[in-house]
Structures are given as C-alpha cells and as structure tokens.
C-alpha cells in the first residue's frame, strides 16, 4: 500500500509502469470550482478537457490488457454535460463497456415495490442536498464509466449480485442455481453520516469506500495484482483495497489529504499490520503535512 504525494501524470509511468494496473478506480476534479487545497478547479473547459485527455493517456498506458478503468464523474444542475464531455474525451482511447449510475438518494413508493416482503411503507433514503431552485431537481446521481481497452473484459457480476425477490426465478434462469442475480447498473450507495465535516471528512469531493469496493469485486478480486487511484484524495479507494487485501498505489498532489488517507488506511488494515503499509511517499517540492 503506497500513497504518493505526486502529480499522477508523472507518477503513473514512474510508479506503476506499462500495463501494471489491473484496475483503476478514480474520481478526477470536475472543474466545478470546488475549493481543493492545492488544485485549481476552475479552468477554461478546453484546457480542462485537454488535461483529462492527458490523464486518460497515462491510465491507458498503465492499464493491463484485461484491466478495468472505473471513472466516477458527476454533473451539476447548470452543467449536466460535464460528465458526458469527459466521457467523450476518454472515448478516443477506450471502449465504454458499462455505464453505472451511482445513486446517492432514492425514494421508493411501497405501491410500486411489488411483492417485496419487508417494505412496509414508502421510503426516501440517502444523501439529500437541497437545491434552492424552481428549475432544477436536486442532484442524486453521478456516473461511473467503466472503460476497458477492447470492451471484452469478463466481470464477476454475481460477486456484487443480489438475491432474487421472486425465488421461483432461482430455478427459471440459467444464471440461477444460486439465489443471486446481476445487480444491474444502478448502485445505491449513500454517504456515511458524519458529525463534523472538518474532522470527519476534510475534503470537498469524496466517494464512499463502498463504491470502489464494489468496482473491485465486479472486476474480480482474484484477478487484481494491483489497484491504482491517480486522484486518491482521502483514500476511499485505498481503504476499499485494504478491506479486500489488494495491493494498492495512489497519488494526490495534496499532502494534507494524503495524511488523512494514511490514517484511514491504518484503521482499515487488519491487525497485526503488514510491515510495508501504508506508506506515504513525498516528492521534495510538495510541502510536508501540517503538524
């Protein structure tokens, strides 16, 4: 487990090398003016997309022939095209094998839930960020684009599968036999509730560790020799890798985020800790962590 305080454009070729990553799960800055510590998230669109293209080139070189690249990007009410523009940039290098919708909150009416035995009433669950607008709905979804080199990567769908509601399907469908079916491409994953943002989640744009964990399982954990995150932030992808016992390399230009990532990683690693990890390595021009 290594977290590098380094620009991923330099770090990917240097630390991972050609074809060294079996799975990449990441979320880049979205260029929406978010107040990151070291990164300027307000750049002209063309410049930002050209940079995303360079990141895509670096990941393309680092990704193994049968690797998976899961790219999480979200839009905003006033800029719904952003994730699709990013995906178009990636389209020049990769095949878009799956589009997953990360659902942060959802409302389900009991009357529409069919014969579901446990649901006794309507539910509205998950993260709710009100938008004071008469035009826009609140944003409850982000994309996770699943890119591969040729669109032919076998996935372990049942590793992230769900039980059948109607048990007669267990025998009916060939994928049955076990009581498990493909979950599909809508993933409800809320954020953990926190008390104080500044101490509990000191970063403006994270995903929950359950998101990368599900991506790793879907790719197939037995085929992952190295998981990589070029934009590791507070280390959700590293925590997920630790939970599954996967070797991991991550990069971020902000040592303060990496300090939190390292602490979370320590907490996630099984005891006794392996002698090698986690380790935060730092390039000389990046300032040291705050004391």
Ligand X SMILES: C[S@@+](CC[C@H](N)C(=O)[O-])C[C@H]1O[C@@H](n2cnc3c(N)ncnc32)[C@H](O)[C@@H]1O
Residues that bind ligand X (CB under 6 A): 7-9, 27-29, 36, 38-39, 203, 205-207, 230-231, 233-234, 236, 251-254, 257
Shortest Å, Cβ 203 to ligand X: 5
Pick the closest to residue 13 from 58, 74, 51 (CA basis).
58
CB of 72 vs ligand X, minimal distance in Å: 7
CB of 118 to ligand X, least distance (A): 31
State the nearest-atom distance from the C-beta of 63 to ligand X, in Å. 17
Q: Give the up-direction half-sphere exposure of residue 181: CA atoms within 13 A in the CB hemisphere.
A: 15
Task: Give whichever of 144 and 181 is closer to ligand X, judged by the CB atom.
Answer: 144
CB nearer to ligand X: pick between 42 and 172: 42
Cβ closer to ligand X: 39 or 164? 39
Q: Which residues of 117-150 are buried (b: 16+ CB within 10 A; e: fewer)?
A: eeeeeeeeeebeeeeeeeeeeebbebbbbbbbbe
Q: Which is nearer to ligand X, 181 or 238 (CB)?
A: 238
Which is nearest to 64 in space by CA: 224, 189, 178?
224
| Shortest-Cβ-distance residue relative to ligand X | 233
CA atoms within 13 A on the CB side of 86: 27
**CB-nearer residue toward ligand X: 248 or 251:** 251
Cβ pair 74, 143 in contact under 8 A: yes
Distance CA 25, CA 63 (A): 11
The least CB distance from residue 176 to ligand X, in Å, is: 36
């Amino acid at each position: 487990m290594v977290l590098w305080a380094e620009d991923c454009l330099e770090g990917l070729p240097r630390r991972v090398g050609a074809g060294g990553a079996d799975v990449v799960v990441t979320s880049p800055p979205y260029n929406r003016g978010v107040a990151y510590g070291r990164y300027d998230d307000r750049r002209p669109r063309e410049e930002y997309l050209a940079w995303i293209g360079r990141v895509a080139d670096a990941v393309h070189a680092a990704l193994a022939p049968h690797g998976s690249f899961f790219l999480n990007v979200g839009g905003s009410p006033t800029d719904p095209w952003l994730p699709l523009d990013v995906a178009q940039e990636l389209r020049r290098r990769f095949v878009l094998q799956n589009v997953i919708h990360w659902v942060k909150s959802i409302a389900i009416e009991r009357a529409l839930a069919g014969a579901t035995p446990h649901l006794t009433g309507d539910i509205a669950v998950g993260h709710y960020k009100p938008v004071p607008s008469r035009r826009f709905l609140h944003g409850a979804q982000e994309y996770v684009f699943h890119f591969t080199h040729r669109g032919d990567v076998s996935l372990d769908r049942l590793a992230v599968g769900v039980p059948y509601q109607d048990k007669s399907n267990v025998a009916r469908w060939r994928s049955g036999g076990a009581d498990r079916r493909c979950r599909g491409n809508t993933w409800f994953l809320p954020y953990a509730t926190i008390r104080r943002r500044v101490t509990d989640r000191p970063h403006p744009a994270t995903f929950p560790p359950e998101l990368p964990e599900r991506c790793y399982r879907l790719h197939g954990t037995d085929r992952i020799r190295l998981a990589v995150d070029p934009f590791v932030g507070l280390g959700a992808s590293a925590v997920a890798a630790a939970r599954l016992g996967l070797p991991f390399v991550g990069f971020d230009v902000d040592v303060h985020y990496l300090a939190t990532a390292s602490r979370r990683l320590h907490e996630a690693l099984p005891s006794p800790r392996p002698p090698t990890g986690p380790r935060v390595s730092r390039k000389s021009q990046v300032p040291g962590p705050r004391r």
